[in-house]
């Protein structure tokens, strides 16, 4: 089944999910800059009803968020029953970026990893939330090409951030931290080849369809008159 048909199937299943309001779906999109997270959101979920889907993009924590535990800002954005929530970057940033830059020590990394596992299991068992985690695996060479496009192509220049090039220099450290997060996760990750956008979208869309089809989704009907 092609990506467009899979996207249509996601839209049909989301319609029932939203109407039934018994289950929810959390989709986590992680990856290096320019790995296609926004492209997946735009393409894979194009046929979803906007009323039943939300997107949350993690950026630098605000002053209020810094005053709470690192999971606070994510927990309050977890999907309610009937909805799909897309995390474009997620709670894993707190054991990736902060670890690479050595803003936290290894003991805190391990404790945060344990807290992440507990958080995700809580969503699964206490709120009937399916959790899908996608690591968008772009090659270092392809990332440099995409970052250069943000300089060369006027339509993409709004995406340009000089800091992305500095982060690219830390590629080996990021790969080690991603490997740790993936290996230590209790809920497994999908490793998505992201150099080719069509294949990236297909892999994500197929996994989302399969996850939704596993749920006992039933369109609600009026109660039978006695």
Instruction: Give the domain ranges of the chain.
Output: 3-214
Neighbours of 120 (CB within 10 A): 20
Chain centre distance of CA 48: 16
Q: Please tell me the CATH code under which domain 3-214 is placed.
A: 3.40.50.300
Say what the pLDDT of residue 226 is: 64
Provide the token pair at 139.
């090659």
Say what the pLDDT of residue 223 is: 83
Say what the pLDDT of residue 225 is: 64
3-state secondary structure the chain: CCHHHHHHHHHHHHHHHHHHCCCEEEEEEEECCCCCHHHHHHHHCCCCCHHHEEEEECCCCCHHHHCCCCCHHHHCCCCCCCCEEEEECCHHHHHCHHHHCCCCCHHHHHHHHHHHHHHHHHHHHHHCEEEEEEEEECCHHHHHHHHHHHHHCHHHHHHCCHHHHHHHCCHHHHHHHHHHHHHHCCCCEEEEECCCHHHHHHHHHHHHHHHHHHCCCCCCCCCCCC
pTM of the model: 0.95
Say what the pLDDT of residue 60 is: 86
Say what the pLDDT of residue 40 is: 97
pLDDT along the chain (226 residues), means of 10: 93 98 98 95 96 93 93 96 97 96 97 98 97 97 94 94 93 97 98 96 98 97 78
Burial class (CB in 10 A: 0-12, 13-18, 19+), 174: middle
Nearest Cα to 30, choosing from 151, 226, 185? Answer: 185
Give the residues across from 130 on adjacent strands. Answer: 25
Nearest Cα to 48, choosing from 1, 14, 85, 90? Answer: 14
Give the residues across from 28 on adjacent strands. Answer: 87, 133
CB 160 within 8 A of CB 151: yes
């Amino acid at each position: 089944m092609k990506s467009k048909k899979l996207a249509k199937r996601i839209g049909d299943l989301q319609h029932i999910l939203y109407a039934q309001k018994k289950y929810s779906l959390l989709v986590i999109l992680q990856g290096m800059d320019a790995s296609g997270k926004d492209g997946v959101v735009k393409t894979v979920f194009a046929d979803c009803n906007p009323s039943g889907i939300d997107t949350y993009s993690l950026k630098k924590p605000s002053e209020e968020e810094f005053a709470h535990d690192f999971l606070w800002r994510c927990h309050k954005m977890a999907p309610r029953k009937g909805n799909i929530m897309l995390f474009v970057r997620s709670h894993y940033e707190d054991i990736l970026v902060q670890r690479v830059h050595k803003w936290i020590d290894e003991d805190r990394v391990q404790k945060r990893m344990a807290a992440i596992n507990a958080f995700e299991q809580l969503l699964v068992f206490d709120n009937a939330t399916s959790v899908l985690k996608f690591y968008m695996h772009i090659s270092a060479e392809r990332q440099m090409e995409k970052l250069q496009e943000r300089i060369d192509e006027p339509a993409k220049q709004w995406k340009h951030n000089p800091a992305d090039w500095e982060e690219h220099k830390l590629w080996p450290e990021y790969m080690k931290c991603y490997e740790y997060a993936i290996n230590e996760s209790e809920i497994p990750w999908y490793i998505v080849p992201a150099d080719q956008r069509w294949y990236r979208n297909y892999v994500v869309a197929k996994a989302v369809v399969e996850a939704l089809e596993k749920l006992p989704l039933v369109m609600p009907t009026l109660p039978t008159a006695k």
